Amino acid sequence: MNIFESNWGKTISFFTVFVVALAAVFYYLENSEIDEIPRMDLNAMEENFRQKNRTCFILGASGETGKALLKKIVERNIFSNITLIGRRQLTFEDKAYENLVQKVVDFEKLDEYAEAFQGHDVGYCCLGTTKAKAGAEGFVRVDHDYVLKSAELAKAGGCKHFHLESSKGADKTSSFLYLKTKGQVEAEIEDLGFERFSIYRPAVLLVDREESRPAEWVARKFLCAFSSVFPTMSIPITAVARAMVVNTLKDGEQKVEILENKAIYNLGEIGDKE
């Protein structure tokens, strides 16, 4: 019993030291990023945006970020028309979604569905999968090929502002397939020359799933506890969605903008203040 208590005590001590060290690292990272966020009158920005009578499309609306983004856009009512582009028809019980336009496409033959990408002012791309789900080739096909082809068709169809959900650490020169693929598609879409291209690089995405393993639940609770204190470490899906909406409303200062995790978090905080 004494041996058990001794080992348990050592484990707790080690975990405490680990958490403190981890917190120190993220505190340093946190304070190395730009922290200044301008004051915004969201109500005035929304009203001004509505008067422009703009339309948008969303890719990946069935995914966690896409669902949260769609919910925010519908709630804000900032677009005159919203089109969902995906591999299957989505069903919604809430009447707020009844005016959505849905375009079902075959991502392997996207050129045949160019019409779905025509006539939109703003495009949101939340497409993505993982190597675990699709294998290495499948991951590249979705996160690079599908995303890039969609961006090409959107640009040809008149899209002016393209939003891309990428990942923290994206780097086309990385030796890691995930980060390299994300970095490559960022660079190739930038070359398309959108009037405005917004790249979002969130860290660990936090979302409450209906079913999850105990380890996932513990990890999520741990990261949630630190997300508001150290926004470089993780971020709720809803904060990413809010940030994308707020960033749509504000004037772009640069043709290409990269929003790292803390910048996303800060914009999301603004979007959460009604």
> What residues are annotated to the active site?
178, 182
Q: What token pair was written down for 270? A: 């603004």
DSSP state of 160: -
| DSSP 3-state of 163 | strand
In sequence order, the 6+-apart residues with CB closer than 8 A to the CB of 209 are 216
Residue pair 165/179 in contact by the 8 Å Cβ criterion: no
DSSP 77: T
Structure tokens at 100: 């959505």
Both tokens of 152, joined, read 């090409």
Residue 257 burial (CB count, 10 A): 14
The residues, ordered by sequence, that sit 6+ positions from 128 with a Cβ below 8 Å of its Cβ are: 60, 63, 142, 143, 165
Give the residue from 186, 196, 189 showing the smallest Cα distance to 252.
Answer: 196
**Smallest Cα–Cα separation from 248: which of 152, 125, 124, 159?**
124
Residue 267: Cβ-neighbour burial (10 angstroms; 0-12, 13-18, 19+)? buried
Judge whether 231 and 262 are in contact, CB under 8 Å. Answer: yes
Q: How far apart are CA 230 and CA 208, in angstroms?
A: 20
